């Protein structure tokens, strides 16, 4: 038995699709075979709410009179890209003013989504067609032309667990890592995480419609650092960071409950992004994939206190128990991404699909099949 996207969408239109969250189907899989799951379930919703630094927004401010070709741009004092035409910019989530490192592009994006006004200041040399050299004004989502969340790399398939063997605190994008293995940070929604439920991206590709920070957004491309070359464990799960997705969506439809500007101590600004991805149960293989459970999802322990060495493995059931053991150390574990908020997103997406408000899209192009990562060589 197989199902097509069209058959599933027809059920969704009629309000007859059976939709479960990935956690619900993983529980169901304890007593049901993939064949039974395929016959009972049409769509599984997955979600994550974690820090995703490779995020940002494309804005178009509109032209002032007289017009300006903005070459240096600040939003609330945060320098943003002046490299996109006259009145376009890209606000990178991690953009910040070095004088005020705890406030950055992610906070500007969140404030815009919250409906707040933001101060735009821009400078230019002045040209015959764009004579103006300076402008300072207030903008909001109501006053500008375009505001598109445009994230090059989100929803990492899996991620290493951070620990610190050294004798001093390490302040990292994985949070504050205490010395001598006092704590371990992990960042994945585990069995609820989107790319762990479709590990080979059979259904997630260019054009996949998703939940993005409260809006209906899209997977626009393979995410940067997309990597298919990580080791695969016996349950088909890639170990460590592997595949990623690039996503985009309309900021005016978003809600900051699912997008937050954040600051990690002595690291910098980042952005928490809420993403929900529907997985159609097309065949027994997909039914088996979405049945994955936390104890089957393994990842590496990475020592941020010793040259980022991979020093062991663990799984998400162990991580969620609050303590893992490694070489005689009992290590206190803590998440970085919100499972509670991810569950909320999976439930919202489930509701959208059950009510016929959200149809599934087949990828217009699949994700790459063979990709590995290069290191940056210093060759000058």
Partner 1 sequence: MEKRIVLNFPAENAQNPVIYDIVKKFDVVPNILKANVKADQGGRMVVELVANENEIKAAIDYIESCGIEVSAIGSKISWNSELCTDCGTCTSSCLSGALTIKAPDWKLQFNPDKCVACKLCLKACPLHLFSMDVSV
**Shorter beta-carbon distance to partner 1: residue 126 or 179:** 179
As a whole number of angstroms, the distance between CA 144 and CA 61 comes to 5
Task: Report the nearest approach of partner 1 to the CB of residue 20 (Å).
Answer: 18
CB of 261 to partner 1, least distance (A): 8
Cis ω on the peptide bond leading into residue 66 (within 30° of 0)?
Answer: yes
Does 182 help bind partner 1 (rule: CB under 8 A)?
yes
Tell me how far, at minimum, the Cβ of 140 lies from partner 1, in Å: 21
Give yes or no for residue 272 binding partner 1 (CB under 8 A): yes
From the list 64, 139, 178, 206, which residue makes contact with partner 1 (rule: CB under 8 A)? 178
The answer to whether residue 129 is catalytic is: yes
Residues 6+ apart with CB under 8 A from 367: 201, 204, 205, 206, 222, 226, 243
**Coil, strand, or helix at residue 292?**
coil
What is the nearest approach in angstroms of partner 1 to the Cβ of residue 225?
22
3-state SS assignment for residue 354:
helix
In angstroms, give the least distance from the CB of 362 to partner 1. Answer: 33
d(CA 257, CA 22): 21
Check binding of 51 to partner 1 (CB under 8 A). yes
Tell me which of 123, 263, 295, 354 binds partner 1, using CB under 8 A.
263
- Using rule CB under 8 A, residue 270 touches partner 1: yes
Looking at the Cβ atoms of 185 and 193, the one nearer to partner 1 is 185
Judged by CB under 8 A, which stretch of 135-143, 255-263, 303-311, 349-357 contacts partner 1? 255-263
**Start-end of H helices in 222-266:** none
- 135 vs 215, which CB is nearer to partner 1? 215
User: Can you say whether residue 61 is alpha, beta or left, with left for phi > 0 and alpha for psi between -120 and 50 degrees?
Assistant: alpha
Q: In degrees rounded to 5, what are phi and psi of residue 251? A: -65, -30
10 binds partner 1 (CB under 8 A): no
Query: How, if at all, do strands 134-139 and 78-80 pair?
Result: unpaired
| CA separation for the pair 67, 50 (Å, rounded) | 39
Binding mask 201-240 for partner 1 (x = CB under 8 A): ----------------------------------------
Positive/negative CA dihedral, 177, 245, 234, 3: positive
- Piece in contact with partner 1 (CB under 8 A), picked from 30-38, 128-136, 340-348, 354-362: 340-348
DSSP class of residue 365? B
Please enumerate in sequence order all residues whose Cβ is within 8 A of that of 132, keeping only pairs 6 or more positions apart, or say none. Answer: 64, 66, 67, 68, 124, 126
Work out whether 352 is an interface residue with partner 1 (CB under 8 A): no
DSSP states along 196-213? HHSTT-SS--BT-EEEET
Smaller CB separation from partner 1, 220 or 338: 338
Find the binder of partner 1 among 10, 102, 114, 325 (CB under 8 A). 102
Cβ at position 321, least distance to partner 1 in Å: 9
Q: Per CB under 8 A, does 185 bind partner 1?
A: yes
- Select the span of 43-51, 235-243, 297-305, 350-358 touching partner 1 (CB under 8 A): 43-51
Minimum distance of partner 1 from residue 265's CB (angstroms): 4
The helix (run of H) or strand (run of E) holding residue 75 is: strand 72-75
Q: Is residue 30 a contact residue for partner 1 (CB under 8 A)?
A: no
- Which residue of 40, 209, 320, 371 would you call a contact of partner 1, by CB under 8 A? 320
Q: How far apart are CA 206 and CA 273, in angstroms?
A: 19
Q: Which DSSP state fits 18?
A: -
Note whether 98 binds partner 1 by CB under 8 A.
Answer: no
C-alpha torsion angle, residues 363, 27, 187, 100 (rounded to 10): 80
Asked if residues 68 and 133 have their Cβ atoms less than 8 Å apart, the reply is yes
Residue 162 CB, nearest distance to partner 1 (Å)? 9
**Residues contributing to the site for partner 1 (CB under 8 A):** 49-51, 102, 175-178, 182-185, 260, 262-265, 270, 272, 320, 322, 332, 334-341, 343
Catalytic residues: 129
């Amino acid at each position: 038995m197989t199902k097509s996207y069209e058959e599933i969408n027809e059920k969704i239109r009629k309000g007859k699709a059976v939709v479960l969250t990935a956690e619900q189907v993983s529980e169901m899989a304890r007593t049901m075979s993939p064949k039974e799951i395929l016959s009972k379930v049409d769509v599984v919703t997955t979600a994550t709410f974690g820090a995703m630094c490779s995020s940002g927004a494309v804005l178009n401010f509109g032209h002032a009179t007289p017009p300006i070709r903005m070459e240096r741009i600040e939003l609330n004092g945060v320098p943003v890209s002046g490299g996109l035409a006259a009145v376009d910019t890209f606000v990178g989530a991690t953009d910040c003013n070095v004088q005020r490192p705890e406030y950055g592009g992610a906070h500007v994006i969140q404030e815009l989504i919250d409906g707040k006004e933001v101060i735009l200041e821009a400078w230019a040399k002045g040209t015959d067609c764009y004579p103006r050299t300076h402008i300072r004004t207030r903008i909001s989502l109501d006053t500008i032309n375009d505001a598109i969340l445009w994230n090059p790399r989100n929803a990492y398939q899996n991620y290493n667990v951070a620990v610190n063997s050294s004798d001093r605190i390490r302040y990292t994008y994985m949070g504050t890592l205490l010395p001598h293995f006092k704590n371990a940070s992990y960042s994945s929604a585990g069995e609820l995480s989107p790319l762990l439920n479709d590990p080979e991206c059979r259904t997630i590709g260019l054009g996949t419609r998703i939940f993005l920070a409260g809006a209906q957004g899209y997977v626009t491309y393979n995410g940067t650092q997309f990597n298919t070359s990580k080791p695969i464990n016996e349950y088909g799960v890639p170990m460590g960071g592997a595949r990623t997705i690039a996503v985009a969506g309309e900021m005016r439809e978003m809600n900051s409950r699912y997008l937050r500007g954040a600051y990690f101590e002595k690291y910098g600004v980042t952005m928490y992004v809420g993403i929900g991805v529907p997985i159609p149960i097309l065949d027994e293989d997909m039914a088996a994939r979405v049945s994955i459970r936390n104890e089957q999802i393994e990842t590496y322990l990475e020592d941020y206190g010793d040259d980022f060495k991979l020093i062991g493995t663990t799984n998400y059931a162990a991580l969620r128990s609050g303590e893992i053991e490694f070489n005689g150390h009992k290590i206190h574990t803590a998440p970085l991404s919100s499972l509670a908020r991810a569950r909320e997103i999976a439930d919202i997406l489930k509701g959208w699909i059950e009510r016929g408000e959200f149809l599934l899209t087949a990828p217009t192009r699949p994700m790459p099949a063979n990709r590995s990562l290069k290191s940056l060589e210093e060759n000058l």
